[in-house]
Structure 1
Amino acid sequence: MNKKCKIGMINFLNGLIPDYHFENTLFTKTYGLPAELNKLLREGDLDISPVSSMEYILNSSNYSILPGLCISAFKEVQTVGVFSNLAPTEWDRKKIYLSGASLTSKYLLKVICKKYLKVDPIFIEQKIEIADKESFEQIIKKYDGVLLIGDRVFEFKNNFQWQFYDLARMWFEATELPFVFALWLVRNNFIENNCEIISKVHYLQLEAIIEGLSHLEEVYEKNSKNLTFKEFSNFLENIMNYQLSPFELLGLKKFSEDLIELRMISDFEGFHFFDSKLQP
């Protein structure tokens, strides 16, 4: 093991479970929004991180996937969607504000609108620097809808009466498939001479998720996020999925095919996995 590994951690409610007692002298942790972690991993400031699945689709030659790990949802996700007073079929030429915290969700919304709803909204992208700071009052005065992800969805629901359109639900209604929002990736140029530490981190991350889901009351006591325990546990146990199986990969493959069909990307090299030697 030649160096201490730099690991990214998602700073959202769904990041609490992977972070459960996830500590070791082999690595350091950096917390951030998905879009921030994308940039840090892409530029080499992180070695391993959960990042937007779109980051992998766009730059798959740079990364390998850690097997068995993802953040995905089947039928609904509750924390990724569009708030609007208009029905989705009325979004044509309407202004939709896109959260700067997201990458995958922006592409997913565009695919849903273009391919499945046959509407063409005007998308305005928020700068990442203000992704978790801009006031909702300013946003709702200017736009017909707003795409939000993560904990800010709960904040918006608690303060405004706009209808929430869940992107995982919209994707499922169109495809009957789950949607993968994030993958755990390792930079390919970190793999050489570091296979042992990567395998160890992989094992510890899988273990943290299993243990975190088994100790939800402890996790809740430290990080309730203003939810009741019933809401908190339902979200993490029944809505979130952290296991990357062939079924989740089918959903991700379908998403990549839609992106190519709509000419939003030119091609996709497919899935490449790190050959992990799991060890305690």
Structure 2
Amino acid sequence: MQPPLRIGAVSYLNTKPLVHGLRERLGHRATLSFNLPSRLADDLHQGKLDVALIPSIEYLGDPSYQIVSNAVIACRGPVWSVRLLSRVPAQEIRRLALDEGSRTSAALVQVLLWEMYQRRPEIVPLRIDQSPERVDADAVLMIGDRAMHPPPRYYREIWDLGDRWCRHCELPFVFALWIARSGIDASEAEVAELSQILQASRDQGIASLEQIAEREAASHGLTKEDLHRYFAENLHYTLGPGEKNGLAEFDRRARSLDLIPHHAPPSTKP
């Protein structure tokens, strides 16, 4: 018997509709684990995972990767959970702290700062366990759950990066996709079956947004109504023609600034 596929999903709140009922649908076909987007990308590249929901920029950086589902994390306007918080006017940012959780948003903010203000600030890390208040930077990029509750201090500008991109480019933005690495121990039929499972889980999640919001809201410091609105209005979960065009445009713009990762082949793979 073939070993079960190793699947990794993002641990953030925005993933809940994508993984609703997924573990049960997978059954014995696969194991499911959760982690930060950047760490999932590393594990997929190193062969520790077979399929993962990874930042879109990581997919763009490896031509051997295969999209295995049209279930994605995207937006067509304000996204709420990806924010730039600046203590100075954006055109004066010299030092930018980037949340280590997602590489797509890190590239996106650099694309926007360059195209809007011709700024290429010095980059410093913002660790997951580090308070934005304590980082020595003019501005910080925050993503995921903590971006929805920015620290209580004065900021000169706050950008919603989804809204900025969609207004600037007039295209949707794709943050993460389900990707399979090359050489996985699965047939085409098994990959096709997995694709159907991932899409069915997404569809079930979208049909259950009120239930998910009621279950998750209090533990994330949100009202059920706010969380339902976030799922239903801020996020988009299908890779359609507009999302594909937005992904291609992001690829072009990020590549022009040399922001697409260049991975060396892993030394070993299972």
TM-score normalized with structure 2 length: 0.88
Q: CA deviation at 1:112?
A: 1.1
Is 2:81 the partner of 1:79? yes
Structure 1 CA distance for aligned equivalents of residues 144 and 261 of structure 2: 29
- Residue from 119, 132, 144 that aligns with 2:138: 144
Is 2:153 the partner of 1:160? yes
CA contact (8 A) 2:69 2:196 kept: no
Count, aligned residues: 256
- Between 208-217 and 50-59, the greater mean CA deviation after superposition: 208-217
CA contact (8 A) 2:10 2:53 kept: yes
Structure 1 CA distance for aligned equivalents of residues 42 and 20 of structure 2: 24
- Structure 1: runs of 5+ lacking an equivalent: 268-280
The aligned amino acid for 1:76 is: P
- 3-state secondary structure, aligned to 1:189: coil
Q: Could you list the per-position Cα deviations for residues 144-198 of structure 1 after superposition, in whole angstroms to 9, with x for gaps in the alignment? A: 11001100112325x33434211111112221111111111011211x6433332
Structure 2 CA distance for aligned equivalents of residues 101 and 264 of structure 1: 16
Query: Equivalent residues in 2 for 1:13-162 (5 A)?
Result: 13-23=13-23, 24-61=27-64, 63-91=65-93, 94-126=94-126, 131-139=127-135, 142-156=136-150, 159-162=152-155
- Over the aligned positions, Cα root-mean-square deviation in angstroms equals 1.9
Q: CA deviation at 1:28?
A: 0.7
Structure 2 CA distance for aligned equivalents of residues 116 and 258 of structure 1: 13
Q: CA deviation at 1:236?
A: 0.5
Q: 1:41 to 1:174 in 2, by over 3 A?
A: same
Structure 2 CA distance for aligned equivalents of residues 203 and 86 of structure 1: 47
CA contact (8 A) 2:18 2:71 kept: no
- Between 6-15 and 205-214, the greater mean CA deviation after superposition: 205-214
- Residue from 169, 178, 194 that aligns with 2:187: 194
Residue 253 (structure 1) aligns with:
248
The aligned amino acid for 1:32 is: N
- 3-state secondary structure, aligned to 2:149: helix
Structure 2 CA distance for aligned equivalents of residues 265 and 48 of structure 1: 20
- 3-state secondary structure, aligned to 2:108: helix
- 3-state secondary structure, aligned to 1:165: strand
Residue 204 (structure 2) aligns with:
211
Among all aligned residue pairs of Structure 1 and Structure 2, give the percentage whose two residues are the same amino acid.
27
Residue 5 (structure 2) aligns with:
5
